[in-house]
Amino acid sequence: MQHIDKVSSKFEKLQEHACNIIEKSDGSGTFTKDSWQKDIGKGITRVITNGDKISKGAVNFSRVSGPLSKEMSKSLGIKGEHFTATGLSSIFHAVNPFVPTIHMNVRYFRLDNGTEWFGGGIDLTPIYVDVEQAKNFHLQLKNICDKYDSTFYPYFKKWADDYFYSKHRSETRGVGGIFFDRQKPSKTFDFEKWMSFTANLAEAYPEIYTEMLAKNARKPYTEKNIFWQKIRWAKYAEFNLLFDRGTRFGIESGGNTESILISLPPEVRWEYNYTPEKGSKEEQTQQFLKKNIDWINLPEA
Amino acid sequence: MQHIDKVSSKFEKLQEHACNIIEKSDGSGTFTKDSWQKDIGKGITRVITNGDKISKGAVNFSRVSGPLSKEMSKSLGIKGEHFTATGLSSIFHAVNPFVPTIHMNVRYFRLDNGTEWFGGGIDLTPIYVDVEQAKNFHLQLKNICDKYDSTFYPYFKKWADDYFYSKHRSETRGVGGIFFDRQKPSKTFDFEKWMSFTANLAEAYPEIYTEMLAKNARKPYTEKNIFWQKIRWAKYAEFNLLFDRGTRFGIESGGNTESILISLPPEVRWEYNYTPEKGSKEEQTQQFLKKNIDWINLPEA
């Protein structure tokens, strides 16, 4: 079995797994299943909207191939004739503003010259930063990483900080997580290990989110909290449309627009020069949107 | 007086002019005045929010200069050491979904090697396309163009169709208008003429919008119309963040973020796979979002 087929079939199973768990956690919403086929390849888009706890979310699987276009070469910073890729990517935006937006992506990429690599990560974008929640989240990621290589967590944590950064606002998208790209299998950490690591992340992801939903989805909230949710989501949309490589790669390679843009939040608000009140919970969140916060060792408030 | 100073002082006056007219037309909202100064230059951001008829809008003036960064060279498709530029750009998003979003921009750019050019345009993005309104709008633009050169309107109209195009959705942003870039003064159409033409556009712009407000700002509307307004505005935000050169140039050159992103609509909604009902007014609008519609000669419904 070719590597691409192995990864692809694993990712497809993990899509099913994530949807099953999240449907149970939501308790009311169900995922639609939309299989698409285009020149570039095929995919399965599974979308949940207007659930009891989840406002909008998706788990997307795709397997694509084709010649690298000029734009794609530029966007990826590589040159090559032909590629094959498979990926699983997911996002959930919750109804309750005390439940964060979560995002996961694992991907495998292969050029016809035989070069192959893995990429992926999980990151968290709270509407309101909760130090305990961020700490637990980072601990869970560290535990998965440490099972494979103790250098992974610090390396990939920094990478997430640098990647999920809106330089035009000098702020991070959220509290980060882990991110990695173009990790080539080596003799000491081979293809099987990379596949196992990425699969492990994708498997843990719905469990991590289920925990957050269980803890926060019933918290009471006000109109003011919803307003702030729209402000925070507007920044999420800005990041994805301006900077996110996955989004731009998808759009430029002629991918399925609705599947790519499913990552955008349900409703956002752009207010000119909006600044949270001094001493407010919103201002506190704003102050946590910084790189290089050592969440795991941060003292709780 | 240097060319840049002449244009810059003209644009600054036209900013005042536009704000005065629009304040009168709105009848309740007023423009704030926010002067900014950064390494790159200075600007005056004038913003109107929560007016009686206008939900969010701005008229921004700026005068900037500096070395062309790598990103800017790439984004502009030119190489050069140092530039000076001045521009006036404006946008209005109305409360009433039967009033379109309108956008205007005029700009002058000069490289230290002496190369100079003008760019600009006005374009319209209706929430609901109204053939008569689109026709009048295009006629008004054609009349201004024809005073200068009869080749301008057809040339710049096509340019707008091609520029304000969301290729990922195969649809235009709205009903277009005129757009032009890198128009170098020549012996037959010199600097003075270009300055007069761009100034004329910027002067006509608030009058054109005032007419639309007077006609449509009091039309009754429903929740459904507001929902569609958010759907249409989401596509406006997508275009600006994914493709608009002015936005990307501004973000990448370290411009004033809040002034650049003032163009984004107040509130937008992303629904997965949203398709208007067959036979609805929304579907009709969708069918008009195409290039190369000859609005002036289109028979009214």
pLDDT tens for each residue of B250-264: 888 777 899 899 999
Q: Do A266 and B267 touch (CB under 8 A)?
A: no
Nearest to B258 among A34, A58, A272 (CB): A272
Cα separations in angstroms, B104 against A105, B18, B90, B127, B235:
39, 11, 5, 17, 18
> How far is A72 from A197, CA to CA, in rounded Å?
27
- Superfamily name with CATH number, domain B3-297: Coproporphyrinogen III oxidase, aerobic (3.40.1500.10)
Least confident of A84-88, A179-183, B6-10, B67-71: B67-71
E strand or H helix at A260, and its extent?
helix A257-260
The C-alpha torsion from B242 through A157 and B270 to A274, rounded to 10°, is: -80
**Active site residue: B3, B82, B93, B103, which one?**
B103
Question: Would you state the structure tokens that stand for residue B13, as one six-digit string?
Answer: 């006056």
Cβ-based neighbour number of residue A243 at 10 Å = 18
Q: Which residue from A minimizes the CA distance to B248?
A: A242
pLDDT of residue A301: 59
Radius of gyration of chain A (CA): 19
pLDDT at position A176 is: 98
Residue A124 has pLDDT above 80, yes or no: yes
Q: What are phi and psi of B34, to 5 degrees?
A: -125, 105
Report the C-alpha dihedral over residues B130, B131, B137, B138, rounded to 10 degrees.
Answer: 150
ipTM of predicted complex: 0.91
Task: Please tell me the predicted confidence (pLDDT) of residue B68.
Answer: 79
Judged against a pLDDT cut of 80, whether residue B72 lies above it is answered with no
pLDDT tens by residue, A151-208: 999 999 999 999 999 999 999 999 999 999 999 999 999 999 999 999 999 999 999 9
The mean of the pLDDT values for chain B is: 94
Helix axes B131-148, B152-163, angle to 10 degrees: 130
With cut-offs at 50, 70 and 90, classify the pLDDT of residue B192.
very high
Residue B217 is inside which H or E element, if any?
none
pLDDT score of A27:
96
Mean pLDDT of A10-17: 98
Reported as a pLDDT band with limits 50, 70 and 90, residue B300 is low
Residues of chain A found within 8 Å of residue B261, distances taken between Cβ atoms: 238, 270
User: Minimal CA–CA distance to B22: which of B2, B42, B3, B49?
Assistant: B49
- pLDDT interval class at A71 (50, 70, 90): low
Above 70 in pLDDT, residue B71?
A: no
**Closest to B232 in 3D by CA, of B288, B292, B148:** B288
What is the pLDDT at residue A80? 64
Give the residue numbers of A annotated as catalytic, written as ranges: 103
The burial of B17, by beta-carbon neighbours within 10 Å (0-12 exposed, 13-18 middle, 19 or more buried), is given as middle
Residue, of A80 and A61, whose pLDDT is higher = A61
Q: What pLDDT, in 10s, does the model give residues B111-131?
A: 888 889 999 999 999 999 999
Give me the pLDDT at residue B81, please.
72
Q: Among residues A285, A268, A296, A266, which one has the least CA distance to residue A91? A: A266
Scan for tokens 């249409």, then name that residue.
Answer: B232
3-class SS at B79? coil
Average pLDDT over residues B7-26: 98
Q: Are strands A101-111 and A41-49 parallel, antiparallel or unpaired?
A: unpaired
Of B168, B230, B264, the CB nearest to A270: B264
Rounded to 10 deg, the angle between the B223-242 and A223-242 helix axes is 40
The predicted pLDDT at position B203 comes to: 98
User: Is the pLDDT assigned to residue B199 strictly greater than 90?
Assistant: yes
pLDDT band at residue B236 using 50, 70 and 90 as cut-offs: very high
Euclidean distance between CA atoms A285 and A41, whole angstroms: 41
Residue of B272, B273, B274, B275 to mutate, interface with A, max A Cβ within 10 Å: B272
- Give the nearest partner residue to B269 out of A251, A266, A271, using CB atoms: A266
Cβ–Cβ contact B111 with A under 8 A: no
Task: Give the A window 122-151 contacts with B, CB below 8 Å.
Answer: none
Q: For A64-176, where are the alpha helices, taking DSSP H only? A: 70-76, 131-148, 152-163
The partner residue sitting opposite B272, judged by closest CB among A237, A238, A258, is A258
H-state helical runs in A50-91: 70-76
**Chain A residues near residue B168 by CB distance under 8 angstroms:** 251, 257, 260
Instruction: Please say if B103 is a catalytic residue.
Output: yes
Contact A47 B258 (CB under 8 A): no
Cβ–Cβ contact A292 with B under 8 A = no
Find the mean pLDDT for residues B39-60. Answer: 94
Q: How many CB atoms lie within 10 A of CB A54?
A: 26
Tell me the percentage of chain A whose pLDDT exceeds 70. 97
Long-range contacts of B247-255 (CB under 8 A, 24+ apart): B248/A242, B248/B75, B249/B72, B249/B75, B249/B76, B251/A168, B251/A242, B252/B69, B252/B71, B252/B72, B252/B75, B253/B40, B253/B64, B253/B66, B253/B69, B253/B71, B253/B72, B254/B38, B254/B39, B254/B40, B255/B38, B255/B40, B255/B62, B255/B64
| Residue tagged 């293809």 (tokens) | A191
Is it the case that residue B76 has pLDDT exceeding 90?
no
Q: How much is the mean pLDDT over chain A?
A: 94
* Number of alpha carbons in the 13 Å side-chain half-sphere of residue B156: 29
Paired residues of B295 in beta bridges: none
Any A CB within 8 A of B266 CB: yes
